[in-house]
Structure 1
Amino acid sequence: MITVEQLKQLGWGTLQRYRKLNPYSKLFLWGTIALYISLAATLVIIGPDRIGQTLYNLAQKVSHYPLGWLILFLVFFVISFPPCVGHTTLITLCGYAYGMKGFPIAAAGSLFGSAFTFIVLRLLFSRRLRKWSESNEKWQALETVIATKGLPLIVLIRASPFPPWVYSNTLFASIQSVALWQFFLATFVVFPKIAIFVFVGSRLASLSDGEQRSHMDTTTKILNISISVGGVLVAALASWIIYRAMRKEILHLDGVPPEVDELAAEAIEEAEEGAPLLGPHRENSNRYDRSPA
């Protein structure tokens, strides 16, 4: 059970991390908070029933198109580029439209959309990547840690909820020691989570449609709601466990100095800026140097 002292430490640690953020990171954080507040307000004002019915109608319209699956597949390529968002929503929409038959669409779209993003970003920003790596100590540390651990750590970072999907694509494109085949294989680890959200979408579809809902008895409604909420909670719990394991792996890597581990962990946390590929270029004093004296 969490004690009051642990809560105080957590709050103080969060405040300290916030103070360390640069202005761009703070702006992103407050923008994200404002977005979620707006979404919550929209949900309350419009009502979940109307929103659910709108999503259901949209999904059904797409599913009745001859190439509706292709439309969803191509949208994955768009939302894989930062600063776009909506990966989980699009996965759920696949469940809305096709039930569990939407899993191949969501899985293939996620895999090939992220791989395409990886290739494009690395090709377009290769020169900036080299310049950034030479001047940013955190990225040097992260490259060293990933190069030391290899594919197992890449898999852990990919499965972690932080950084989010679109910024995870940017992060790996930024790390020169990550090969495309490693990124491709690591993306397979998110397939179970994709399957969960497709399943949740298939359950929510029946609850969102007023006509189907009117023919359900109370027991069926409760069962569908419980399954949907349970699926989201399982995915969230698994993501949190993986995130903790990822941080522990980075911070306690054998053969790497502790200060390097700390810098690598900070680089992961700052990945939402899109750095170094999309973030503002900032020169750093280089306290960490990988080259021998």
Structure 2
Amino acid sequence: MTESNRLRWMLSLLRYYAVSAFRRYQKLHLHGKLFIWGTACIYLTLASIFIFVGPARIGQTLYDLAQKISHRSYGWVMLGGAIVVISFPPCIGHTTLITLCGYAYGMKGFPIAAVASLLGSALAFVVLRFLFRGRLRRWSASNEKWQALETVVAAKGLPLIALIRASPFPPWVYSNALFASIEAVSLWQFFLATFVIFPKIALLVFVGSRLASLSDGEQRSHMDTSTKILNAAVSIGGLLLGLTASFIVYRAMQSEIRRLQGLSPEVDELAVEALEEAEEGAPLLGTYAESAPRPTD
């Protein structure tokens, strides 16, 4: 393939994905569109802060905050409690708080992050399912994609639940709501499946512990160049490793659903679509009224 053909192929691929994304956006209901715009505004704000404030000042601020937390006798309770709270939708910030555990306590922050994540997700599962049980049943009876997802999860059981749990999509808080929305998933299955994210939590805590030494100006001033490069390389390498593993798990999850034996390809494909639309389509997050069949005259 020549250079011009390769460039043309890449442009056509980008155009295809752009058109597909726009068409999916047009099909979203109002809540889904507002969610996308809200998320875009949040990331735009964060990017602006990063550019205008500067990474050095942001890192120093995070380090100072982490040190204040770690020097308090109840600091671990504060961090753990915050992780539990952001396990409920529509909160965000799970990854940031896990990394902050590494900032504050080094690898000793892993038990705090792991236990709090396990407790928070279990509480979110129980509370959401208890509060929205009736709504969940009405949604399941009227949404074809959700019925397909429940069928696939019920057929595959714990292995598929764990694979979906380990996948980066849907994100943490929406994954909690997703599983609370699927009646085929029991609390003990959800609880056990959550253990598969512990390696990811450990990696984020480790990256946080490495970034802490680079964020503090005083520590950084006493480092030689090779030490700075090593810490930066380890941090970046850890993040890239996490992203790569997440992508592999996500692709494996989609592949596992699509090749499930005993179910029609249409059911498998609908289940994949239900997962992809979990953030705006889950019955505990959106509105089921738009998907419900309307009475005829």
Tell me, what secondary structure is at the counterpart of 2:277?
A: helix
In structure 2, distance between residues paired with 1:14 and 1:276:
27
Alpha-carbon distance, 1:283 to partner: 4.1
Q: Map Cα deviations across residues 99-150 of structure 1 (whole Å, 9 max, x no partner).
A: 0000000000111110010000000000100011001111100000000111
What residue is the counterpart of 1:157 in the other structure? Answer: 164
* Matching of residue 142 in structure 1 with residue 141 in structure 2: no
Q: Select 2:107's aligned residue among 88, 91, 100.
A: 100
TM-score, scaled relative to structure 1: 0.93
Q: Does structure 1 residue 12 correspond to structure 2 residue 12?
A: no
Matched, 1:129 2:136: yes
Distance 1:151 1:18, change over 3 A: farther
| Residue 127 of structure 2 is aligned to residue 120 of structure 1 | yes
2:28 corresponds in structure 1 to 22
Query: What SS is found at the alignment partner of 1:222?
Result: helix
- Does the residue aligned with 2:170 lie in a helix, a strand or coil? coil
Whichever residue aligns with residue 149 of structure 1, its letter is K
2:47 is the alignment partner of 1:40: yes
1:188-220 Cα deviation digits (max 9, x unpaired): 000001001100000010111111111111000
Aligned match of 1:205? 212
Q: 1:167 aligns with which of 167, 174, 177?
A: 174
Shift of residue 263, structure 1, vs aligned partner = 1.0
Letter in 2 for 1:16: S
Separation in 1, partners of 2:41, 2:203: 28
Asked whether the equivalents of residues 279 and 285 of structure 2 are also in contact (C-alpha less than 8 Å), the reply is no
1:220-235 matched pairs, under 5 angstroms: 220-235=227-242
2:218 corresponds to 1:214: no
Separation (CA, whole Å) in 1 of partners of 2:14 and 2:266: 22
Distance in 2, matches of 1:118 and 1:285, equals 24
Which residue pairs with 1:31 in the alignment? 38
CA gap of 1:164–1:7, structure 2 versus 1, over 3 A, is farther
CA gap of 1:105–1:158, structure 2 versus 1, over 3 A, is same
Separation in 1, partners of 2:63, 2:142: 49
Alignment size in residue pairs = 286
Shift in CA distance, 196/49, structure 1 to aligned 2, threshold 3 Å: same
TM-score for both structures, normalised by structure 2: 0.92
CA contact (8 A) 1:94 1:106 kept: yes
Per-residue CA distance 1:157-191 (angstroms, 9 max, x = gap):
00000000000000000000001111011100000
The residue aligned with 1:289 is: none
1:291 corresponds to which residue? none
Contact 1:167 1:271 in 2 (8 A): yes
Deviation at 1:19, TM superposition (A): 1.2
Distance 2:104 2:54 in 1: 21
Report how far residue 67 of structure 1 moved.
1.0
Check 1:55–1:10 CA distance in 2 against 1; reply closer, same or farther (3 A cut).
same
Residue type of the alignment partner of 1:34: C
What one-letter code is carried by the residue in structure 1 that aligns with 2:204?
F
Contact 2:139 2:283 (C-alpha < 8 Å) held by counterparts: yes
Aligned 8 A contact 1:203 1:224 in 2: yes
Structure 1 contact 95–103 (Cα < 8 Å) conserved: yes
Q: Which runs of 5+ in 2 are unaligned?
A: none
Give the counterpart of 1:181 among 184, 188, 196.
Answer: 188
Q: Name the aligned partner's letter for residue 12 of structure 1.
A: Y
1:91 is paired with a residue of what secondary structure?
A: helix
Tell me the amino acid that sits aligned with residue 257 of structure 1: S
C-alpha contact 1:136 1:283 (8 A) present in aligned 2: no
Pair 1:14–1:248, CA change in 2 (3 A): farther
- Going from structure 1 to structure 2, the CA distance change for 1:173 and 1:236 (only over 3 Å counts) comes to same
**Farther-moved stretch of structure 1 (206-215 vs 267-276):** 267-276
Cα separation, 1, equivalents of 2:11 and 2:156: 33
Superposed counterparts of 1:41-80, under 5 Å: 41-80=48-87
